[in-house]
Chain A
Amino acid sequence: MRTMKSFFRERSIGAKLTLIIVTVSFVALASYFAISTTIDRRQSHLVLVGQTRMLARIAAEYSVSNLVFQYQPETAADLDKLFLLPDIEEAQMYDAEGRLFTSRIKPGLHPLPCPETISPLQEDEVKFPDDRLEVFQQMTFRGKRHGTLRLVASTTSFQTILDTRVAILGVFSAIILLLVYFMATAVQRWVSQPIIELIAKFKEIANGNLSIRVEVPGAEGEIASLCQNVNLMADALENRVREIERSAERYEALISASNTGAWEYHEDSGFLWCSPEYFSMLGRDIHEYDMSGARNLEQTWTNLLHPDDRLQALQNFSESLTQTNMYQQNFRMKHRDGHWVWIWSRGKALRDPQGRPTSIVVGTHIDITERITLEERLRQSEKMDSIGQLAGGIAHDFNNQLTGILGSAELILTKLSDPILRTWVENIQKSALRSAELTKRLLAFARKGKIVTTQVNIHNLIEEVLTLLQHSIDRRITITRHLEAEPPLTVGDPNQLQGALLNLAINARDAMPDGGELSFVTSNAILGEKTPTLDLPPGAYLQISVADTGSGMSKEVQSHLFEPFFTTKEVGKGTGLGLAAVFGAIKSHDGAIRCNSEPGKGTTFRILLPMVTESLPKRAVELSVSPTPGHEQILLVDDEEVARNVTREILQALGYKVTTCRDGVDAIALFSSSWQQIDLVLLDMIMPRMGGPEAYQAMRAINPGVKVILASGFSLNDAANQLLQQGARGFIQKPFQLSELSRKIRQVLSG
């Protein structure tokens, strides 16, 4: 049974249909055949029996008088008539005592023995001995029994008819079955042909040919509906696939346009795939890497990581994947040309339909080197600015104090004749001046010391520096120069720029205690639109390189290089202000300075300064030595008591009449009442209550022709410059020396 089921299950629909139809037809025919044959048999039997009995009854009734009257010939003739019915073979008549009266046999048949006597009480009876029918019929008249008629009929003819019918039925059944088979085959073809075609189309679709459509046979019926639905499904599938393809194209275009590297990682199998951009941002080509999905995490990622980042990056990667399913970190990867590219790596685990994270992680790589660099520069720049402000503040206060010290020393010197005492005071003066030089550098770093603006020839400056250096430099150090910039001109303070170059040269010398090469190189540089590493506007620049072949510096040292009071020299050997001042000086000249250094290989400083082409008139810097006396009335405004007193003493010693005020408010009050008597105002810039600029404006309101010299512990800055443009006559930086102050006052009063 099971094998028959599985046999049937494994057949094609067509075979099944044929089998079913033929089987059903066969069963129907066989049933009909069996039933009809049975019915026919019974019917024929009944007919034969009924007919024979009827015949017997009629014959009995008809011949009863013959029997009664013992008319044997008539009886025989009557019985012979019965053989007209072909089935009847024998006829016997028995008298009332059961004795045989007459016996007739169908002509042509062998006489068979018949009973000579029967029971006189023989009932009407039907028997079937040996396929023959035997009928006993009582012969009565008016209720009186006169004898018995026995008829024997053959069943052969009825059997022959049945056999014929069986044969005909069999032939018909065979014909019908054959017809049914042909019909079933046709039906099967009609039903299964579209299905077979469907299957073929399905195979094509499965092989990727999505444009395949099925021909719909007619508009009604299951096959048509199936075909229509298959087409609908193919449409939907095609659309879906197109959509996915478009989506993938868009995705690829996006990835490519955004220059984002994409990757996919299978945590369980180690499968890793990376997009071409992943490699191109590292200057690499995807074809150099195995993208077959093998375990190549090492090749494509780990090996390219910066050694300092590697451990942490791997740890972050595995931790964040297991803990949060979200992953994000920055690390450096090696570019083909050797530099390190900062990568912002992000990833996320894909979710299964239930929303649980799977082991598949997809993510992106974005090159953020520029951002990191800019951030670093911004941070550095902010740091420098805040340090500069701090340094400037210190320098300002310090200059005020130095004004007192220097002034006092000069006053003492005017009173002293003892040469020994004079030497001591002169020592005080020297120390104070050196201190003043330090604060000047601090101010330079703080970019508050650009005093002079003139055209500067860098090549000349370099030559002067080398002249200064040649006596203090080890003979084992070779000095080379390649001065190729043309024209080598910039605008600024030659003293500051010279100091900066000198500073760099001295540092280079100190970095080569065992000798080496110190080189100066200048060239022209044009900066385009984009200079990410230099915070400079586009334009023409002079490039000055100062390089040594000395000990070099670590990255750590380089990162603090330009900070004030940072030094690698022994305590007492360096101030830690040298490079800070260089940095400030270059910055205040709208330039930039960069340092390239590697431990053991030397250091190169590159300076960029804006280049000028047209010549500016050179401003003569007068330097007079001896103090110039005077007698005019001077109003001295300064909040620092020591400085105020010392300055007053100096001015009085020079012959001037001096009135002092401690701030702007006092000064205005005094000036408003007695401005006619005041020939000149020496005005400090920074004071409590009212500073220099406000006081100057007030004084000008009272007397527009007021002569004012500005003084400040800061160097000449924007505020002071503004006042100079508005009419202030001069600026003097604290601490000032007697000669400088007297010259300036004299200049203003006589100008």
Chain B
Amino acid sequence: MNVEGAPEGFPEYQVKAKLLIRMAEFVDWPEGTFPSPEAPFIIAIAGKDPFGSYLENLVTKEKIKDHPILLTHFASDAEPGRCHMLFIAKTEVSRLDRILSRIDGSPVLIVSDTEAMNRKGVHISFHMSEGRMRFQINLGSAKKSRLVITSQLLRLATKILEG
């Protein structure tokens, strides 16, 4: 993992891809979320996938909480709760509320691509600070979604929101 939090000259979404996977390590999902150890950890991407093949390659090498990672596309009509983590790309700013309402209350860690989408319902949103990739955390939303964000992750956040 020779990747800095804010590597200059590193492509933005490679960093974000790595951070996504690492973040998941520091978040606890409610019990019973994984019926078996072999059950996959599903990452859904809403909107246009900014990662390209990088994330696809990455998830085949990595595991989250010893679970294999499954990468899917978030369909607006799909069953909510079919994923554990949802990355909302920039392209979905306009459809954000719809997406969030679909999820509403399910234990899905919602990560937004930009700070602009950081609002009620989004748990973590990326933003750049002092030239490095950082993120904000909405602790109140996470609690509603029955997700526990560990202190290790919280102390890395640039801002923690309670609402």
Contact = CB atoms under 8 A, between A and B. Distances in A.
Nearest to A63: B152
Interface stretch (A2-10, A25-33, A67-75, A505-513): A67-75
A216 to B, nearest CB: 84
A563 interface: no
A95 interface: yes
A49 to B, nearest CB: 26
B63 to A, nearest CB: 9
A66 to B, nearest CB: 7
A110 interface: no
Contacts of B3: 70
A400 B152 CA distance: 183
B156 A69 contact: yes
Interface residues of B, number: 13
A69 B25 contact: no
A79 to B, nearest CB: 15
A679 B125 CA distance: 212
A143 to B, nearest CB: 9
Interface in A38-93: 61-62, 64-66, 68-72, 74
A115 B3 CA distance: 22
A76 B128 CA distance: 21
B1 A65 contact: no
A71 B26 contact: no
A153 B25 CA distance: 32
Interface string B59-93: 00000010000000000000000000000000000
Given A141-B26, A142-B25, A144-B25, A66 B1 contact: no
Contacts of A62: 152
Contacts of B5: 69-72
Given A141-B25, A141-B26, A144-B25, A65 B4 contact: no
A95 B3 CA distance: 12
Interface string B107-146: 0000000000000000000000000000000000000000
B153 A65 contact: yes
B160 interface: no
Interface magnitude class on chain A: 10 to 19
A142 B27 CA distance: 11
A95 B2 CA distance: 10
Interface string A377-399: 00000000000000000000000
B1 A64 contact: no
Contacts of B65: 142
Contacts of B1: 70, 95-96
A57 to B, nearest CB: 14
A148 B150 CA distance: 21
Contacts of B22: 68-69
A584 to B, nearest CB: 167
A68 B4 contact: no
A71 B1 CA distance: 12
B25 A72 contact: no
With most chain B CB atoms within 10 A of its CB, the pick from A61, A74, A95, A142 is A142
B19 interface: yes
A68 B26 CA distance: 10
A66 B156 contact: yes
A72 B6 CA distance: 10
A69 B19 contact: yes
Contacts of A64: 152
Contacts of A61: 152
Contacts of A144: 25
Identify the 8 closest CB pairs spanning chains A and B, nearest first.
A65-B152, A71-B5, A70-B4, A70-B5, A68-B22, A69-B5, A65-B156, A69-B156
5 contacts: A64-B152, A70-B5, A74-B156, A96-B1, A142-B25
Given A65-B152, A69-B19, 6 more contacts: A62-B152, A65-B156, A68-B26, A69-B5, A72-B4, A74-B156
